[in-house]
Structure 1
Amino acid sequence: MATAMIEKQVPRYNFVDELRGVAVVLMIIFHFSYDLRMFGFASMDFQRDFFWWFLPRLIVFLFLFSMGISTCLGHWPKLKKRSFFIRLAKVGGGAAAVSLVTFLLFPDRWIYFGTLHCITLSSLAILPFMGRPWLALILGLALPISKWVFKFGPTWFSLKHQSMDYIPFTPWFGICLLGVFAFHHGLHKVVILLPQTIKVGLQFLGRHSFLIYIVHQPLLYGTVYLVWMIQR
């Protein structure tokens, strides 16, 4: 009798989905607030107000940190090439779409290396570190600390214009590496003490974070724009 090789299923740990779900909620809040300000419905200062300066950086941190955990969770100790490269192509395609659309609509602020671009490159760069948690920790701390605290270290490329979303590979790749270390120390097994309805909602958002990332801003922007047109 012929036997089929069945790939062992990786257990689903809800913490990673919930973490991404929190990032999605914060992202929607930030972008909706940004759109309201753009059309004059609100007056937040995104440059000088610490909360609005810190919020987008927290969002990126959560996305990259959870990516480091989930990559190890799905592909350690053995890389599942098919699912890995399908996901890589999906995220990379999303990054390319973001660049194209923003170039056409906002040519003076278009996104050439944003969050999805950083995740795409980091997904490849993280592979040699998945089995080296202490090396990942050392480099994961060294990259952001050297750049953000001591103002030195490798500099990622940048174009002359001010992009709407610029997430340089260095030092942000360090946050992904911290996710590797967290995985090897069991952070993905943590159970968050929240009401079940909230947990289920966050898990749903986390599991569909890529789709929500792609579609939420056009929907928010379009809605606010429509209201603005009606009230003119």
Structure 2
Amino acid sequence: MEQKPGRIWELDFIRGSCLLLMLTYHFLYDLVEFTDFYYPYDQGWMYTAGRIVALLFIGTAGISSTLSRSNVKRGIRILAIALAITVITSQMAPGFHIQFGILHFMGTCMVLYGGLERLKPSAAFLAAISLPALGLGWVFERLTDPTGWLFPLGILSPGFISADYYPIFPYIGVFLLGAAFGKQFYGRRKSLFPFRLKNDPVSLVGRHSLLLYVLHQPVFIGAILAVKALLSR
């Protein structure tokens, strides 16, 4: 399958690589949580790699937002999907429900950036405001929320649970750094490389990252539980 004209292949490739690594991490997580299989996914190199991949995924989303002319529309669509995930997981898996995961975060960032881009911000401005955003994350994680409603900002109340959690602060700082990079280096909306990969399955994954991200957990958990039920007979 040829890459669509106008797409920047390396962004699809990075996004696809990140998503494949995320899927691997989540599959290990599901195996540990729903079977007797054990793997220390929450420590050591696996945890560190997972954090790095998440940051790279967020930064790439920031770059992509500088290339989109419909950030608000895309953000609202992703927020609607995220809200549906919150409702479904709270009903079906209360101990593993998602209150403000990566999709909630991405949708919020896209809507906010859609408003910010009306000011035609420069790369320097975006980089500059990313720093206090990163700093606020450090401050907010040391505060306690007495209301139970400030978790999107990174201020948690005792007993807060979310199986996937990416608060606005500090992660919007990473998104803004990605946007600054996009403004600086992708202003011409062209690849930075003198070549283009063809028939690349990783980039294909990157082009359909939202669909795969939404579907992968139900597929993983359903398959694991089905195999577990068959083996227990």
* Cα displacement string for residues 21-75 of structure 1 (whole angstroms, at most 9, x for unaligned residues): 011101110111111212335311233x222322332232122111111110123
**Equivalent residue, structure 2, for 1:23:** 18
Equivalent residue, structure 1, for 2:124: 134
1:114 and 2:101 are equivalent in the alignment: yes
Structure 1 residue corresponding to 2:34, chosen from 35, 39, 43: 39
How far apart are 1:193 and its partner, in Å? 8.3
Partner of 2:64: 70
For the structure 1 residues 194 and 51, does the alpha-carbon distance in structure 2 shift closer, same or farther, using more than 3 Å as the test? farther
Q: Does the CA-based 8 Å contact 1:15-1:192 persist in structure 2? A: no
Whole-Å separation in 1 of the counterparts to 2:125 and 2:92: 42
Query: Alpha-carbon deviations, 1:60-103, whole Å to 9, x = none?
Result: 2122111111110123xxxxxxx444422321111111101110
Note if contact 2:141-2:156 (Cα within 8 Å) is conserved in structure 1.
no
Task: Summarize the alignment of residues 164-179 of structure 1 with structure 2, pairs less than 5 Å apart.
Answer: 164-179=163-178
TM-score normalised over the length of structure 1: 0.80
Provide closer, same or farther for how the CA distance between residues 162 and 194 of structure 1 changes in structure 2, counting only shifts above 3 A. Answer: farther
Residue 27 (structure 2) pairs with residue 54 (structure 1): no
Instruction: Give the superposed CA RMSD.
Output: 3.0
Once the two structures are aligned, what percentage of the paired residues are identical?
25
Q: CA deviation at 1:161?
A: 2.7
Relative to the length of structure 2, the TM-score reads: 0.79
Alignment correspondent of 2:184: 185
Unaligned runs of 5+ in 1: 1-9, 76-82
Cα distance in 1 between the residues matched to 2:135 and 2:174:
11
Q: How far apart in 2 are the matches of 1:66 and 1:144?
A: 17
Q: How many residues align?
A: 214
Residues 71 and 123, structure 1, Cα contact 8 Å, conserved in 2: yes
Q: CA deviation at 1:202?
A: 1.6
Match of 1:163 in 2: 162
Aligned-pair CA distance for 1:195: 7.1
1:215 is the counterpart of 2:215: yes
Could you tell me which runs of 5 or more consecutive residues in structure 2 were left unpaired when the two chains were aligned: 144-149
Report the CA distance shift for 1:209/1:169 in structure 2 as closer, same or farther (over 3 A). Answer: same
Does the 8 Å CA contact 2:28/2:41 hold for their aligned counterparts? Answer: no
What is the Cα deviation at residue 149 of structure 1? 9.9
Q: Residues of 1 paired with 2:47 and 2:194: CA distance?
A: 27
1:205 equivalent in structure 2: 205
Per-residue CA deviations over 1:121-172 (Å, capped at 9, x if unaligned) read 1112224266221121123234335645997799534353321011110010
Aligned-partner SS, 1:32: helix
